[in-house]
Amino acid sequence: MSPETCGSSLLLALPDDVLSIITQSLSPRDICNLGLCRRSLYALVASEKLWLAQCETLGIVSRQELIEWRRGVSSYKALCRFLHTVQPLMGIWVHQNPELGNVVYVMPGFVSVVGCRIIPQELGPLGIEDGPILWAPVFEIFGDCNGGSTFFLHGREKGNDYLYPGSIKSIDKACNVMLLEVEPRQHKKEVKLLQSKSFDKEVSRKVSRSHSGLSRSHRECIQREAKVPFSRLAFCDRRKLLEIITSQVRINVPERENGPLFPTIRTDEENFCKEMALLYERRLVLIQMHELGAGHVDWNPNGQLPSSDPTQLELSEVRKTLERSSGHHYSVNEDDDNTQGNKKKTLSSYFRNSINQILGKPNGSATSKNSSSSSDSKHAQLHEFLRSGDTIGLTLHASTMRLSSYRAWPNMHDSRFALYKLPLHVPTAEQKYSGLWGGTFGWPPGKPTEDKPGKALFFLLLSYEESQGKRLLIATKILEGTHYVLHPNGSAMFTVNMNEPSPDPFPWDSGADSVPMNVEHAYAGEGIANGYGFRYPGAKPGSLFVFQNGHLAFIWKESRAVLTLQRLNLQDLLKKGEKVLALPPIANFTYLTKSYSNVFAGFPNSSNCLLSSPRFVHFLIELFDCAFSS
């Protein structure tokens, strides 16, 4: 008997429970390859227990939840395929604008993952652990029956909630950037681009001239390989394409389908079962709508589609839309290059020039020719991007990019519709304070007091760094619940030398409800303070105190201001939280307009100081650009 036969016979003789334990050390790819070795092994690796163990190994949801999720898919193998695909998305994603609130947490839903934006807010009367956290939906990715992925973007326009169906372009296993893009496709029922004959003729002429010595099939292969990526388009082209596609594919969400996106904390079994039934029904409806292509028109609750197809959009209409919204002509083919007009003078440009004159800055018109010529050489043309397909669709692309960072905060691109993943390290014996913490200013910690009923809620990411022989603990601010930002996201609220004990005593004997506070450790460091401008804050000495109950407190030595912190389980907080209205779809994914005020809670009360500040003038200019761009 051959060794191969002995090996396969031994595997076949193992009970399913033992086999599932052994195969936990294998990847799903390895198990699939094992099933290809022999016909008998193929049936063996189809075991439900084996793939349930694989799902558990991924650690996204508990075993009990996996059993509930199994109702929505054909097998545990299909469920493992979906979980393996979306696992890199789990965690905290951020963008620098608006400064107060672009923190998106990706967590499990029901056979889905949900991107939830944490809204800047003040601490409620029940404190951090028991108070409802406000959040807004950003996107959902559903797993279908066979383990495939279905993408929906969330947004709100003209007082209505909408879903914007799209597809998953790719998800890298080590992705650190999540991009919202538009992708040309072939023969899909999406926003169809009926290319003009002159455009087709021009494209054919260019291809035949540049590849005249090649066969037709070879020329077509080269043309497919030369597909222009969405990122190479100019920012205005990318923005307007996203605006066009979202205006065409949106689904009006009926009230009965605007239910929970994920189950709440399991307290009452009867209510939990009802909630799971709603989640199951909602998921089936949305997946069916996505598969039928009904997402390209407003959804009729009766399931009937209109007789005409309003999703067809001529290429010339794309150009006209871009021209109307931006105030100048875009060339779709080279014949239009000599007929482009000058940029129209809009109210926004007039307002910008007037403000620049007040501030003593040059107007943009003096450099418009040079900038346009350099932009033409730097960015790809719109017609080059569109010619690779006859339809366009919304896509989510999670890729891996080489990013620089300062401390724990990545340096981000200002004009990408992107979210950036924060490295969330699991606490270890050497780095026991790593992870996400939440807190407020003031003592006692955790709850507001009578004299200060509202305290801004802060989210801080604590991480370690070696610098000049020092082992530093850095608290990076990622969320601030004030109406007007004091320090930008990515600021180090405090930095502590873990090798230097602090000689300062803790100034209070007890905390909330007169509970004694026992200090285990104290470390010397420095906390953020007013310095040179908004982006370059100063620092003043302070101490970090570690209590027996696991809470932290950083105290500035001079002012005696105290920032108290406790670990957060963001998933549980969101399950107990309260959903609020989302922003418009593109801004909901990434709010690119620079804003130092809380765009989710309205503008703060104006003051003379605020109105006269250059930051506010800059904000007004961008606000008018956005309002009058169309």
Helix, strand, coil percent content, the chain, rounded in steps of 5? 35, 25, 35
pLDDT at residue 203 greater than cutoff 50: no
Reduced to 3 states (helix: H, G, I; strand: E, B; else coil), residue 271 is helix
| C-alpha to C-alpha distances, 520 to 258, 506, 550, 552, 565, nearest whole angstrom | 48, 11, 9, 10, 15
pLDDT score for 196: 38
Reduced to 3 states (helix: H, G, I; strand: E, B; else coil), residue 538 is strand
Which of the four pLDDT bands, split at 50, 70 and 90, describes residue 535? Answer: low
pLDDT score for 311: 35
Domain boundaries along the sequence of the chain: 3-72, 427-572
Q: What is the pairing mode between strands 134-143 and 470-480?
A: unpaired
Which of the four pLDDT bands, split at 50, 70 and 90, describes residue 48? Answer: confident
- pLDDT, greater one: 496 or 406: 496
Q: Which residues pair with 139 in a beta bridge?
A: 115, 153
The tens digit of pLDDT for each residue in 91-105 reads 999 998 888 888 999
* CA nearest neighbour of 601 among 447, 485, 487, 491: 485
Which of the four pLDDT bands, split at 50, 70 and 90, describes residue 343? Answer: very low
Which of the four pLDDT bands, split at 50, 70 and 90, describes residue 12? Answer: low
Reduced to 3 states (helix: H, G, I; strand: E, B; else coil), residue 314 is coil
pLDDT at residue 295 greater than cutoff 70: no
CATH classification (class only), 3-72: mainly alpha
The answer to whether the CB of 191 falls within 8 A of the CB of 249 is yes
pLDDT score for 39: 64
**DSSP string spanning 115-176?**
EEEEPP-BPPTTHHHHSPPEEEEEEEEEE-TTS-EEEEEEEEETTEEEEEEEEEEEE-TT--
Which of the four pLDDT bands, split at 50, 70 and 90, describes residue 146? Answer: very high
Which of the four pLDDT bands, split at 50, 70 and 90, describes residue 302? Answer: very low
Task: Give the residue carrying structure tokens 């919202």.
Answer: 180
The answer to whether the CB of 574 falls within 8 A of the CB of 593 is no
**DSSP string spanning 470-508?**
EEEEEEEEEEE-SSB-SS-TT-EEEEEEEEEE--PPPS-
Task: Give the residue carrying structure tokens 């709010």.
Answer: 591
% the chain with pLDDT above 70: 66
pLDDT score for 368: 38
Say which range, 125-139, 192-206, 253-267, 537-551, has the weakest mean pLDDT. Answer: 192-206
φ/ψ (deg, to 5) at 77: -65, -40
- pLDDT, greater one: 151 or 340: 151
pLDDT score for 269: 79
Q: How far apart are CA 248 and CA 361, in angstroms?
A: 40
pLDDT at residue 353 greater than cutoff 80: no
Which of the four pLDDT bands, split at 50, 70 and 90, describes residue 599? Answer: confident
pLDDT at residue 339 greater than cutoff 50: no
Q: 278-284: long-range contacts (C-beta < 8 A, 24 or more apart)?
A: 279/109, 279/110, 280/71, 280/72, 280/110, 282/257, 283/72, 283/110, 283/111, 283/112, 283/142, 284/72
The tens digit of pLDDT for each residue in 491-502 reads 899 999 999 999
The tens digit of pLDDT for each residue in 448-464 reads 666 666 788 999 999 99
Which of the four pLDDT bands, split at 50, 70 and 90, describes residue 395? Answer: very high
Q: What value, to the nearest 5°, has the Cα angle with vertex 596 and ends 410 and 96?
A: 15
End-to-end, the C-alpha distance of the chain in Å comes to: 78
Reduced to 3 states (helix: H, G, I; strand: E, B; else coil), residue 353 is helix
Average per-residue pLDDT for the chain: 76
φ/ψ (deg, to 5) at 353: -65, -40
Measured in residues, the chain has a length of 630
* CA nearest neighbour of 495 among 520, 465, 522, 521: 465
Reduced to 3 states (helix: H, G, I; strand: E, B; else coil), residue 227 is coil
| C-alpha to C-alpha distances, 482 to 130, 230, 443, nearest whole angstrom | 20, 36, 18
% the chain with pLDDT above 90: 40
| C-alpha to C-alpha distances, 378 to 210, 235, 236, 374, 527, nearest whole angstrom | 21, 11, 14, 6, 43
* CA nearest neighbour of 104 among 425, 574, 520: 574
Q: Which residues pair with 529 in a beta bridge?
A: 538
Could you count the other beta carbons within 10 Å of the beta carbon of residue 31? 20
Say which range, 224-228, 316-320, 545-549, has the weakest mean pLDDT. Answer: 316-320
Task: Give the residue carrying structure tokens 């000049």.
Answer: 468
- Tokens representing residue 17 in the block: 């429970």
Tell me, what DSSP letter sits at residue 386? H
Residue type, 303: G
Say which range, 44-53, 183-192, 311-320, 501-510, has the weakest mean pLDDT. Answer: 311-320
Helix axes 76-86, 48-58, angle to 10 degrees: 20
